[in-house]
């Protein structure tokens, strides 16, 4: 019997009408393993109403007590790491080790948010004027929404949870309908940790549920991670509705390989960054830019040999380097981009199409794919493929190489591999990209910094998590106070100054 996945509203499972449903696949077998009911606008409204009720008492709780709930939640997730990773892998397809990484990177943000008593502190100035003191306080926005993508079903929801809940908001989460079980289980663990009912609601759905959140008067802010087209839509709609928003989009990250780079490390880094998690990461490294023909020839020869030895397997295979992609539709999309690259004239050195795993012939597998001599004018280079496909674009010098990520429509992450501190320093300062790695292939910042790209990778000027996340989910109130000791006389008719 097919498992049913329900919403999580007011501290418990909520079945809803399930007028429309979505299939949740096991990517390793291609079989439908569950169905998830999509929320109607009325059900979204019920979740928001419950969040509004729960948020008032939660916001009134002192930050230290809120932090204790976060500490307990972190402990519970760590205790259930194995079962959560297995559940995540079964719906997404990423291997168990990668699923644990998904969970751990989310927990790092929860850990940072445990410091909310310090992070929520305002500012104070004594005697800003004669007998006048000025202070500011950070207060929660109220009810906020988080809309998360399929590729990180634990990490990104925990980004939203940590920042929004710690600061005293209530969060309505709309996770991806492709792998929705882990966010629901996380909500259950929040309740076990002591979170009051309504502070975290989980509603499933597609555009209908998203639009209900975007247009709801009680939703004060929306944080989104997903494709650039939808991010742009989120940004436009929230602007029209007068809502605060973070809208993170797609990526096409480049790795610049200088002639002096440690090629052993470069090849190892590209194997993991380009093919890990089947390339379904917004911070993957799908474009290699070797500088100089000698560098290019060595890199292509070595990466091809190493990629041919990668083991593609089911998500729970401990020996697999990566597993299947998330759906058959996404598999077909990736294969269409591979064909596009062939038609555009790029050299296809490894073709992952037609990969079949014995006993799992219906799984959504794609083998490692490698293109050489890709040109910037090719559409397959200009667009995000989001699969286990590495494209090599050769450059003659650093200026030409740096222009590629700087001029690309996406600006999420970039990396440079070199032993030259001067080259790395100048590259990091000048490249038109939001996150830079120097001999680091996936430069996702640690939790006490912040995550955010540029250009079509981010339709926002506020980054995810870190102190930027605290600012996004709070508003500042500034108080100017005076306690007069006598008659203020004519001063009542004069605008206050600091003289």
pLDDT tens-digit readout, 274-311: 999 999 999 999 999 999 999 999 999 999 999 999 99
> How far is 448 from 467, CA to CA, in rounded Å?
7
pLDDT tens by residue, 66-84? 999 999 999 999 999 999 9
* Domains along the chain with CATH numbers: 3-249+458-478 (3.40.605.10), 254-438 (3.40.309.10)
Catalytic member of 77, 103, 195, 282: 282
Instruction: For CA atoms 48, 52, 53, 55, give the dihedral sign.
Output: positive
Q: Please, what is the angle between helix 81-92 and helix 96-113, to 10°?
A: 120
Q: What confidence tier does 2 reach under pLDDT thresholds 50, 70, 90?
A: confident
pLDDT score of 496 more than 80: no
pLDDT of residue 88: 98
Grouping H, G, I as helix, E, B as strand and the rest as coil, residue 192 is helix
Place of tokens 């002096």: 260
282 is catalytic: yes
- Give the pairing of strands 31-37 and 21-26: antiparallel
CA dist 190 → 37, 58, 70, 432 (Å) = 22, 13, 8, 39
pLDDT on residue 96: 97
Q: Quote the pLDDT of residue 452.
A: 94
pLDDT digits (tens, 9 = 90+) for 245-268: 999 999 999 999 999 999 999 999
Q: CA–CA separation, 7 vs 479, rounded Å?
A: 41
- Here the tokens at position 427 are 């590259």
Residue-wise pLDDT for 344-362, tens only, equals: 999 999 999 999 999 999 9
Does residue 489 have a pLDDT over 70?
no
Portion of the chain with pLDDT greater than 70, in percent? 97
Averaged over 440-467, what is the pLDDT? Answer: 92
What angle in degrees, to the nearest 10, is found between the helix axes of 81-92 and 63-79? 70
Task: State mean pLDDT over 435-448.
Answer: 94
Indicate the average pLDDT of the chain: 95
What distance in Å separates the CA atoms of residue 38 and residue 163, rounded to the nearest whole number?
26
How many CB atoms sit inside 10 A of residue 479's CB? 11
Burial class for 449, CB neighbours closer than 10 Å (0-12, 13-18, 19+): middle
């Amino acid at each position: 019997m097919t498992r049913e996945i329900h919403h999580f509203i007011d501290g418990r499972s909520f079945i809803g009408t399930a007028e429309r449903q979505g299939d949740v696949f096991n990517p390793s077998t291609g079989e439908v393993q569950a169905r998830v009911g999509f929320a109607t606008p009325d059900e979204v409204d019920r979740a928001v109403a419950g969040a509004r009720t729960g948020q008032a008492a939660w916001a009134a709780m002192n930050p230290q007590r809120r932090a204790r709930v976060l500490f307990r939640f972190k402990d519970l997730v760590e205790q259930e790491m194995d079962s959560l990773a297995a559940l995540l892998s079964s719906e997404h397809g990423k291997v168990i080790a990668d699923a644990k990484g998904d969970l751990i990177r989310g927990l790092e943000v929860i850990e940072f948010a445990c410091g909310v008593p310090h992070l929520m502190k305002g500012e104070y100035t004594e005697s800003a004027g004669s007998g006048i003191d000025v202070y500011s306080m950070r207060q929660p926005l109220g009810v906020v929404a988080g809309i998360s993508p399929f590729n990180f079903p634990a990490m990104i929801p925990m980004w939203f949870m940590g920042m929004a809940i710690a600061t005293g908001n209530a969060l309505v989460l709309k996770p991806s309908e492709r792998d929705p079980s882990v966010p629901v289980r996380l909500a259950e663990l929040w309740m076990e940790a002591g979170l009051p009912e309504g502070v975290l609601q989980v509603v499933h759905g597609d555009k209908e549920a998203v639009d209900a959140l975007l247009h709801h008067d009680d939703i004060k802010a929306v944080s989104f991670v997903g494709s650039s087209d939808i991010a742009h839509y989120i940004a436009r709609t929230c602007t029209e509705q007068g809502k605060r928003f973070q809208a993170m989009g797609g990526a096409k990250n480049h790795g610049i390989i200088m002639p002096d780079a440690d090629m052993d490390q470069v090849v190892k880094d590209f194997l993991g960054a380009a093919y890990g998690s089947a390339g379904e990461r917004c911070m993957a490294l799908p474009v290699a830019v070797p500088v100089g023909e000698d560098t290019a020839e060595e890199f292509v020869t070595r990466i091809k040999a190493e990629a041919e030895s990668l083991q593609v397997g089911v998500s729970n295979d401990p020996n697999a380097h990566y597993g299947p992609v998330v759906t058959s539709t996404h598999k077909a999309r990736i294969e269409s981009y591979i064909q596009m690259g062939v038609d555009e004239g790029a050299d296809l050195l490894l073709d992952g199409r037609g990969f079949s795993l014995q006993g799992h012939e219906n799984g959504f597998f794609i083998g490692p794919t490698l293109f050489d001599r890709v040109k910037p004018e090719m559409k397959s280079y200009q667009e995000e493929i989001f699969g286990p496909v590495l494209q090599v674009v050769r450059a003659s010098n650093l200026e030409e190489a740096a222009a590629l990520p700087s001029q690309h429509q996406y600006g999420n992450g970039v990396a440079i591999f070199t032993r030259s501190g001067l080259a790395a320093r100048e590259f990091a300062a000048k490249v038109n990209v939001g996150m830079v790695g120097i001999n680091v292939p996936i430069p996702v910042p640690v939790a006490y910094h912040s995550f955010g790209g540029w250009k079509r990778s981010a339709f926002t000027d506020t980054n995810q998590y870190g102190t930027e996340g605290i600012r996004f989910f709070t508003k500042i109130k500034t108080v100017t106070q005076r306690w007069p000791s006598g008659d203020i006389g004519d001063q009542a008719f004069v605008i206050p100054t600091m003289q």
